[in-house]
Amino acid sequence: MKLIFVGPQGSGKGTQGKILSKKFGLAHISMGDLLRNAKGERKEKINQFINQGELVPIDLTIELISERIKDKDCENGFIFDGFPRTIEQAKELDKIVKIDKAIEISITDELGVKRLANRWSCKGCGEPYNAITKKPDVEGKCNKCGGELYQREDDKPEAIKKRLEIYHKETEPILKHYDSVKVDGGQEIDDVTKDILKILK
């Protein structure tokens, strides 16, 4: 099973990707993680784009993706979270893999901004937290590894607004390309998961 989760920043794509990849034994491929974990010169190039809220060039993203889907944990399939983000990327992806289903996790811009402005991540293991919906047990510390929590540069208000503009302009058109199915990402996490499971049955 090869799936794509599409949705604006803050929609819960990553959360659902983690839940459902465990349930079905699929690899959870987060474009954000691939970009953040890039090494050396490639990492420097990528960071320049990310910190300005710009999309990373297609040749770099396709290179990372094509390397990642060859890994052993992708044998049963995978869930793409945050990729593709443009029609051009979708067409390039079509050349290397056939996607079974695209699911749109839909939320309002207002909710996206609210969620992201309150989002923090662990510097050690990358675990996400939210000042409203998922607080750590000890303020500023990760429950999993005890690492320090920080707010990503691209989760600050100006970068969020820019990313949402890019989403509407560049990413929404891929929903038609994949004939995606829509779920309401404004619900509780468990309810979103149930809706996705109904689609996948």
Active site residues: 13, 85, 119, 152, 163
Report the DSSP beta bridge partners of residue 27: 78
Q: Which two tokens stand for residue 4?
A: 């794509």
Q: Which residue has the tokens 């919906």?
A: 133
Q: Closest Cα to residue 43, out of 53, 52, 34?
A: 34
Is 105 within 8 Å of 13 (Cβ atoms)?
A: yes
Which residues does 75 contact at the CB level (< 8 Å), separation at least 6? none
Is 103 within 8 Å of 8 (Cβ atoms)?
A: no
Which residues does 72 contact at the CB level (< 8 Å), separation at least 6? none
Is 102 within 8 Å of 26 (Cβ atoms)?
A: no
